[in-house]
Structure 1
Amino acid sequence: MTLRATVVGGGVAGLCTATELASRGVAVTLVDREKRPGPHACSWWAGGMLAPFCEGETAEEPVVRLGQAAAGWWEGQGVPVTRAGTLVVTLGRDRQELDRFARRTHGHCTLDRAGLAELEPDLDDRFDRALFFSEEAHLDPRRALGHLRDRLPALGVQFRTGKTDAHGPVFDCRGLAARDALPDLRGVKGEMLVLHAPDLRLGRPVRLLHPRWPFYVVPRGDGVYMLGATQIESGERVRPTVRSALELLSAAYALHPAFGEAEILEIGVDARPAFPDNLPRLRQQGEVIHVNGLFRHGFLMAPALARMAADLLCNNVRPELMNEDHG
């Protein structure tokens, strides 16, 4: 007998879960208020960094370990992934930040000025030391979301908008909207900018460490860069602030003055869903299994949670990141 399941939510968690279930022969109905991924989804505004080792600075061990499989999963779905690593730099006055970052992470080597210039010639003479995480990768989130959405019909997934009768277990992947069922879920506001800086050529994500506003820039191609990201304890999802924009732009200019001549293409804001310990998990409430709490690790951890969801339904394997709600 064919297994059936309903996935609610068409962001990165929902699309990954539907993909993993359908690839194992489950008849999936995906329910979302919109027909396609777009600005309504938190994952639309993501950086797309598949950087488990860098995230280890603050993230728990499962994020580092499980996140290492993310790039391969996305490539397996046909999503273009750039495996160029991550550079981490700091301004001269903040050199201790680089030492601290190195102590808290692994999977990196230290570059001198010449080594950094060889990887990123446009950063020549701007920094004399960097950490290079060679095994990390990045992707274009919007392209990845669109690709998953477009290949789901070939896997037999049915799409519905609005309310619909559930078929089989329900996998609730609504992100912050699931606070109506998950009272300990909180919002962490993030703001980002998309700039066009045609005179600058960066081939990989670069993180600039700063005691007050850690910053990263991710190349999107054709001189387009995503700048992120603020991290504010708030569920507010629509109002970018002048302070955050100024901090991001100041950090970009500190990284390279060419950003001073860049064109601002977009300013985005949304709130990431997070549990108190910032670890994602599956949580079961009766016939509903919540896939949530991705925090700032959406594209990094959604594949792992999707595999756990499919293992639970198809093989009755209790996921590593799961708890039950008996309330």
Structure 2
Amino acid sequence: MSGGAAILVRGAGVAGLVTAVTLAERGAKVTLAEAGSRIGSGASWMAGGMLAPWCEAADAPREVTEHSLGSLSWWRSHVPDVESNGSLVLAPARDTAEITRFGRRTSHFEEIGAEEIARLEPDLAGRFSRGLFFPEEGHLDPRKALPALADRLVRLGGRLLLDQADMPASAGFDYIVDCTGLRAREALGTLRGVRGEMILLRCRDVSLHRPVRMLHPRIPVYIVPRADHLFMVGATMVESENAGPMTLRSMSELMNAAWVLHPGFAEAEIIEMGTGLRPSYPDNMPLVTQEGRTVFVNGMFRHGYLLSPWLAARAADLIFG
């Protein structure tokens, strides 16, 4: 198949956008069709945007780390404002044993004490005596990165079509790449939804320079800094297919984690609360599969931003050989 193939990519979440750009960079004539009225209308918009392959090794199969080592450099070469300040892992005083557990299951970190924590994050000075610092990790703001990818696709000669739930597959395309997440369940019957939850806070009294993971025996919580004193606070995963409003318990846990990190968050403004369902296979590992002229890229679980560049390259290799 030559690079000038006409390809329809369905779904403009992180998987669809990264795949569309990758195919266009390989010379394909790409049409990206999104069922919603904007890009990233699913779980991709609610994500933390952490590019943390080493931290993810605490609970994910080793393949997640192996296949995501190039993700930070990929994103830095494709979108602006990608931060490479590492990740910080902390725990409340009563849960410091969780730091030891986390360290046993990960690598590429530095064990640090109160003085180093204060140097990395001055606003946390005197609040924590022990932590782990992962200097090779980074993060991005999905709400800036996804539009930047869409712009890049158009500059590469691709088309972006919104409100296209029924874009016909027979409209002169050589290949279809399906990145529609849970909407592909009929063809990919083993998919399940894993609920993700987030609160977006604005707090002018706190400054952070990198994502902070607050460990807890039941549910770890991360706090990711964004521009204009915004902070995304999220839970890594909840085994539920309920896509409804956030529960009182979840909201309390997220806000309490922020307050434990720094009491200044008690005066934070709640800008937004949201939930999303992440498409996941039974083993929580994504797959690139092919049925005739249709290639499926799906099952991102909580690793969409980490693994999309690798999965997109696999999809392109299937198509171009």
Residues 200 and 249 of structure 1, relative CA distance in 2, 3 Å threshold: same
Output one character per residue of 1:277-309: Cα deviation in whole Å (capped at 9) or x when no partner: 111111222322110111101111111101111
Q: Determine the structure 1 residue equivalent to 2:186.
A: 180
- Asked if residue 298 in structure 1 is aligned to residue 298 in structure 2, the reply is no
Output one character per residue of 1:225-248: Cα deviation in whole Å (capped at 9) or x when no partner: 000015222222232111100111
Cα deviation for residue 164 of structure 1 reads 2.6
Output one character per residue of 1:168-205: Cα deviation in whole Å (capped at 9) or x when no partner: 11110001111121111000001100001100011100
For residues 255-294 of structure 1, the aligned pairs below 5 Å read 255-294=261-300
Larger mean CA deviation between 142-151 and 131-140 belongs to: 142-151
Q: Determine the structure 2 residue equivalent to 1:189.
A: 195
Name the CA distance, whole Å, in 2 between partners of 1:114 and 1:220.
25
Q: Which amino acid aligns with 1:200?
A: V
Gaps in structure 2 of 5+ consecutive residues: none
Q: Secondary structure at the match of 1:229?
A: strand
Q: Which amino acid aligns with 1:30?
A: L
Name the CA distance, whole Å, in 2 between partners of 1:146 and 1:6.
19
Gaps in structure 1 of 5+ consecutive residues: 317-327
Cα deviation for residue 60 of structure 1 reads 1.0
Q: Determine the structure 2 residue equivalent to 1:85.
A: 86
Q: Determine the structure 2 residue equivalent to 1:131.
A: 132
Name the CA distance, whole Å, in 2 between partners of 1:135 and 1:10.
28
Q: Secondary structure at the match of 1:152?
A: helix
Q: Determine the structure 2 residue equivalent to 1:323.
A: none
Residues 98 and 110 of structure 1, relative CA distance in 2, 3 Å threshold: same
Q: Determine the structure 1 residue equivalent to 2:30.
A: 28
Aligned residues: 314
Q: Which amino acid aligns with 1:26?
A: A
For residues 45-124 of structure 1, the aligned pairs below 5 Å read 45-124=46-125
Q: Is the 8 A contact 1:112 1:130 kept in 2?
A: yes
Name the CA distance, whole Å, in 1 between partners of 2:62 and 2:86.
20
Name the CA distance, whole Å, in 2 between partners of 1:265 and 1:9.
27
Identity of aligned residues (%): 48
Q: Determine the structure 2 residue equivalent to 1:162.
A: 165
Q: Which amino acid aligns with 1:72?
A: S
Q: Determine the structure 2 residue equivalent to 1:322.
A: none
TM-score by length of 2: 0.95
Q: Is the 8 A contact 1:217 1:225 kept in 2?
A: yes
Larger mean CA deviation between 2-11 and 122-131 belongs to: 2-11
Q: Determine the structure 1 residue equivalent to 2:234.
A: 228
Q: Which amino acid aligns with 2:191?
A: L
Q: Secondary structure at the match of 1:237?
A: coil
Name the CA distance, whole Å, in 2 between partners of 1:14 and 1:235.
22
Name the CA distance, whole Å, in 2 between partners of 1:87 and 1:196.
20
Name the CA distance, whole Å, in 1 between partners of 2:50 and 2:244.
23
Cα deviation for residue 35 of structure 1 reads 5.0
Name the CA distance, whole Å, in 2 between partners of 1:77 and 1:241.
36
Name the CA distance, whole Å, in 2 between partners of 1:200 and 1:83.
20
Cα deviation for residue 140 of structure 1 reads 0.4
Larger mean CA deviation between 97-106 and 23-32 belongs to: 23-32
Q: Which amino acid aligns with 2:246?
A: P
TM-score by length of 1: 0.93
Cα deviation for residue 158 of structure 1 reads 2.1
Output one character per residue of 1:19-51: Cα deviation in whole Å (capped at 9) or x when no partner: 00000101111111235315x321000000000
Runs of 4+ in 1 over 4 A off after TM superposition: none
Q: Secondary structure at the match of 1:231?
A: strand
Residues 78 and 268 of structure 1, relative CA distance in 2, 3 Å threshold: same
Q: Is the 8 A contact 1:230 1:244 kept in 2?
A: no
Q: Is the 8 A contact 1:192 1:230 kept in 2?
A: no
Cα deviation for residue 96 of structure 1 reads 1.0
Name the CA distance, whole Å, in 1 between partners of 2:263 and 2:24.
47
Name the CA distance, whole Å, in 2 between partners of 1:237 and 1:293.
17
Q: Is the 8 A contact 2:237 2:302 kept in 1?
A: no
Q: Is the 8 A contact 2:222 2:236 kept in 1?
A: no
